[in-house]
Structure 1
Amino acid sequence: MTNTLYVLNGPNLNLLGLREPGIYGATTLKDIEEMCKEKAAAMGWSIVFRQSNHEGELIDWIQEAREYARGIIFNPAAYTHTSVAFQDAIRAVSLPVIEVHLSNIHARESFRHHSYVSPAALGVICGLNAKGYVLAIEALVDHLESA
């Protein structure tokens, strides 16, 4: 298998840079994609970067990653707090996953404090804005290369 990571993004992240910049910042999803590709390339890895507003499509990509990737970086966005199906899919594919959130979900509304993804994830990075994705790539590659 090639040194490929999937970076999957959930609902409304296509509006980054426009949507609530006080919470999510001015960086666009395209900017984050470029940052991820540059970081991965510098480490000798490649990225498949995707976004969907649809839960089922994200699950399909998690399952697809089983065949084409060695790990997943996942920002499930609002589905974090509602999708048992994501936890099931992550457990089913047996790939390491790092959950990423731009904002600190623990400093926001109480309903955002619970994640259905976290129990199945290798780790969680939140509150560091776009930099969290870069840190997730570093951590996931380090984990995979030391395994």
Structure 2
Amino acid sequence: SGSQEYGQLYFTDHLGDYGKALYSSLNDRANAALLVQLDENVQLAYNPQRMSTVAAWQGQLDLSETKYQLYRGEGEPMIDGQELNGLERMHWSYQDRYGQLNNLVSERTPYPDEWLDYHGHYQHGEDIVLSYSIMGRKVLEKPSSHML
């Protein structure tokens, strides 16, 4: 239709600038993730309900089939690059006095607020700063990348 064609033309000429952080899904990895651009070539995806790393990769975040680059984009953001192995296991861990994870949560549920309370993120210059509380203690985390 004409309105859809016009909408796509407008969208193509007026791409949004989403900054260094974007809340979205990540193809086959997370339904809800905070996607952070650490530098021009390193990306990180967090699960904000657990403050765990979903994925880290050297390359780009592919938004080509998404609502971020297409007027009616229905695709999901995808990893475009080489994954950095081992970083996907970084997470906060909670155990009871017997060394077991509390039965209140499963792999897919968020932690209770008294364990982890995610406050959001801020942009400070070129950096993203994550804000959350762990067991009531406030944490500011500034993820970064340094290539050797």
TM-score (norm 1): 0.26
Name the one with the larger helix percent.
1
Name the one with the larger strand percent.
2
TM-score (norm 2): 0.26
Q: Looking at CA atoms only, which structure, 1 or 2, has the larger radius of gyration?
A: 2
